Amino acid sequence: MASISETMPKLPITDVLPDLGAALSVGTRAVLSAPPGAGKTTLVPLYLLEQTWRGDGRIILLEPRRLAARAAAGRMASLLGEKVGETVGYRMRLDNRISAKTRIEVVTEGVFARMILDDPELAGVSAVLFDEFHERSLDADFGLALALDVQAALREDLRIVVMSATLDVDRVSTLLDHPPAIVSDGRSYPVEIRYQDRPAGERIEDSMARAIIEAHRAESGSILAFLPGQAEISRTAERLEGRFGADTTVVPLYGNLGQKEQDAAIRSAPAGTRKIVLATSIAETSITIDGVRIVIDSGLQRLPVFEAATGITRLETVRVSRASADQRAGRAGRTEPGVAIRLWHAGQTAALPAFTPPQILSSDLSGFMLDVAHWGVADPATLRLVDPPPMAAVEEARNLLRLLGALDNSGALTPSGKRIRELALPPRLAAMILSAAETGEQAAAARLAVLLTEQGLGGPSVDIEERLRRFSQERGERADAARKLAQRMAEGFGAAKGGSTSTPGALLLHAFPDRIALQRGGRGRFVMANGRGGEVPETERLAGADMIVVADLTGQAGRQRILAAAEIDRATIEAELADRIVREDQCLFDRASRQVRARRVMRLGAMILEETPLKRPSGLKAAQALADGIRQLGLQAIPFSREAAQLRDRIGFLHRSLGAPWPDTSDDALLASLDTWFTPFQENTRGIDDITAASLHDGLMALVPYDVQRDIGKLVPTHFEAPTGQRHPIRYDGDEPVLAIRVQELFGLKQHPSVAGGRLPLLLELVSPAQRPIQTTRDLPGFWAGSWRDVRADMRGRYPKHPWPEDPAEAMPTTRAKPRGT
């Protein structure tokens, strides 16, 4: 009987398979880089089946998407002349086709992370293959880190192979301690790259539709067009409607489609017909659409971006990386020579990022941190990750898990946290099911959780109740699988109630307590318990609700659009979250009146449920509220008197000129130290207009160490006493002290005036009798001996009534004009 290797098709990857086999026969790690279409996804696992080190162990192949996993398993099974579920099977969230005979398991990356967390020894597994690792999903990064931990501590015999068509080989090799790197340079068929620059301002669907029509007319074969998202796919399909004959069909391909629709999209077109597939990045890797020889790439993709400051994940349309562009182009050469048309200028390719940013740098890390805690690791930076997670996102995740009761203060898993992790859901939704199980309503909560995690189920409505109604009536394989998954989740908690008595909003309270929202500012405008705002379109039913619970929203801070929410009433909030509701007296700053006021409130987070005004406050709390007002308005709101402003400038000048112990009095420094110099001196102040000059003077002096306070007057005097006896203010608001003075008042002065004990000369701004600038100098004797002659010649004619002596150093100072007749 022929071996598998002998019956496999001859593809470019075939030439390097012996090298991979040799590397894994003497070592346990390898990196494999091969271009799109080389055959690595299907031929590598089949080749490794016959390696002696495998024994009877299973090979796990990780794929980034369900569609790719099903396609890879189907292709390998067909090469073996079998059905999926025999030697080759797959395992994913809503579908599972494996048996006792299965030796190659194709799994999605999230499934593998859960497999290894639940069974660290990976019993019965001989090798783990990370396919398309260049996509750098959070699950793939985490799964590789866990596999390396397991290999180092428990399974020295476990083989680990990292594979990709466009791989950052150096970084991955470094992480794996420089194992053999096998590179396949072959491509199944050549692909011609063409550029078709999109006109500025033109919508991508218009450019794409035009490019598809032109390519369909000029080239043969089916077309695969890459667009950033479902909306652009729909609009492109509308523009193509009626443009082709019966021999050409236009089909969409994106994640929200059901399995049958996805499989139909990648199935080859019937003989004599052509297919145009409008796809997202889902078609970028690991699948072959037979008959496609033309790829048209928009150059755009939609990526999730998590903002730790807002706790919100939003989708952002960005340029693809060069690696992704190469992957997409490679789809055109899988079965015959092809053409890749890029809708951008050729010169822009070099400006594209080399690789797609790793998800770990821009993801909600709450699920990741829950798994890290389960693994027994306190600091995720100690894991062998290609890129460490951002600390802001790590801390945000820890705070959320504490809020949900999943972590204790030390960062360890609580009993509730263990149950939450077992549910294989985002922690918020798992916590909701756990809470609902206490009253026997886990079935309703599980169905709601699955609805929110499987995009597209129940339709696009913002109103979750409406989506649940549609989901319950929805037909199709995907909807059935989702309902069965919810049922399995609920059964883990025992018998449920006959019917749910809680509304979706009441269930969601336990998943999103920080996103309970109160209508404020008009129809459709809400403020959440976390202090942030969000909007519902005015045409939506929920726009008129008094209170809602927000399950999903997008947009940047200040302009957040609510995507999914359910109505809730205050009585339910008070009943369900009584331990989170705070009743307290508050002092706060009112920006409109610039006054401090007091109120008694009942609040949930930053959301005020009820308030009662109290009499105007005083004392330390009022002073603290006033300081908060200054932080809101900025330091310019403080009414510094001329004397207080000058004191601030003098102290600040000493800081800039002499350094310690003189304090910094810049705006930023004073705002940062309000509690030191401002608050303690405002306990009898109720508003900004009540702030006194004396309190500001005393506060600024409090910043200066007591033992040097007496030196201020000597080092930086407020005034300069001229030879005439007149006092003139000195300015200290710049880098050097400045004195503006009429030149006649300095006659007879032979030494340049200075401050700071003679160390710092004054910058003299010499002015005419009409107070107009004449000259600036830091060397008065030098001025008398030098440029005074030119100044005198010019000024005598302009101001003949004032003295302009030939030798001002020997003249008498004066504030007056010459006597009449002289």
Q: What is the pLDDT of residues 299-313, one digit of tens each?
A: 999 888 777 666 667
Q: Where in the chain is the domain with CATH 3.40.50.300?
A: 4-183, 191-360
Other Cβ atoms within 10 Å of 605 Cβ, number: 17
What is the model's pLDDT at position 499? 64
Q: Predicted confidence band at 597 (pLDDT cuts at 50, 70, 90)?
A: very high
More confidently predicted of 590 and 255: 590
Mean pLDDT of 601-621: 87
pLDDT at 131: 92
- The CATH class given to the 191-360 domain equals alpha beta
What is the mean predicted confidence (pLDDT) over 506-531?
90
Residues whose CB falls within 8 Å of the CB of residue 52, separated by 6 or more in sequence, listed in order: 25
- Burial of 455 (C-beta count, 10 Å sphere; 0-12/13-18/19+): exposed
pLDDT at 565 over 90: yes
Helices marked H in 344-463 — which ranges? Answer: 366-375, 391-403, 415-422, 427-437, 442-453
Give the CATH number of domain 376-383+391-497. 1.20.120.1080
Phi–psi pair at 89, nearest 5 degrees: -140, 180
Q: Where in the chain is the domain with CATH 1.20.120.1080?
A: 376-383+391-497
Burial track 240-250 (b if 16+ CB lie within 10 A, e otherwise): beeebeeebbb
Confidence at 1, pLDDT banded by 50, 70, 90: very low
Q: Rounded mean pLDDT of the chain?
A: 89
What percent of the chain shows pLDDT beyond 70? 96
Whether residue 298 has pLDDT greater than 50: yes
* pLDDT band (50, 70, 90) for residue 671: very high
Query: What's residue 119's pLDDT?
Result: 92
Judged by DSSP in three states, 807 sits in: coil
Mean pLDDT of 549-567: 84
- Which whole-number Å values give the CA distances from 237 to 60, 226, 382, 762, in the listed order? 38, 13, 48, 76
Instruction: Return d(Cα 557, Cα 111) in angstroms, integer.
Output: 33
* DSSP conformation letters of 453-470: HSTTTT-S-SBHHHHHHH
| Percentage of residues in the chain having pLDDT higher than 90 | 55
Which residue type sits at 610? E
pLDDT at 188: 66
Helix (H, G, I), strand (E, B) or coil at 512: coil
Segment 418-469, tens digit of pLDDT: 999 988 888 999 999 999 998 899 999 999 999 998 888 888 899 999 999 9
Among 1-5, 426-430, 508-512, 780-784, whose mean pLDDT is lowest?
1-5
In this structure, are residues 371 and 263 in contact, taking their beta carbons and an 8 Å threshold? Answer: no
Task: Kindly list the distances between the CA atom of residue 548 and the CA atoms of 62, 114, 449, 515, 525, in Å, as whole numbers in the listed order.
Answer: 40, 33, 17, 8, 11
Low-confidence winner among 6-20, 364-378, 381-395, 561-575 (lowest mean pLDDT) = 6-20
For the four alpha carbons of 266, 267, 268 and 269, in that order, the dihedral sign comes to negative
- Range with the lowest mean pLDDT among 105-109, 479-483, 671-675? 479-483
pLDDT tier at 497 (50, 70, 90 boundaries)? Answer: low
Structure tokens at 485: 């998954």
The model's pTM is 0.72
Cβ atoms of residues 810 and 746 within 8 Å: no
Residue 322 tokens read as 């060069």
Residue with tokens 């609805």: 451
Residue type, 358: P
Q: Which of 709, 733, 567, 521 is nearest to 648 (CA)?
A: 733
Query: Is the pLDDT reported for residue 767 higher than 50?
Result: yes
Helices (H) and strands (E) in the chain, counts: 29, 31
User: What tokens were used for 411?
Assistant: 């960062």
pLDDT in tens, 333-347: 877 899 999 999 998
Write down the pLDDT at residue 275. Answer: 93
Does the domain made of 4-183 have the CATH classification 3.20.20.80?
no
DSSP letters along 131-158, please?
A: TTGGG--HHHHHHHHHHHHHHHHT-TT-
Q: What is the mean pLDDT of residues 33-50?
A: 89
Section 569-578 average pLDDT: 89
Residue 822 has pLDDT above 60, yes or no: no
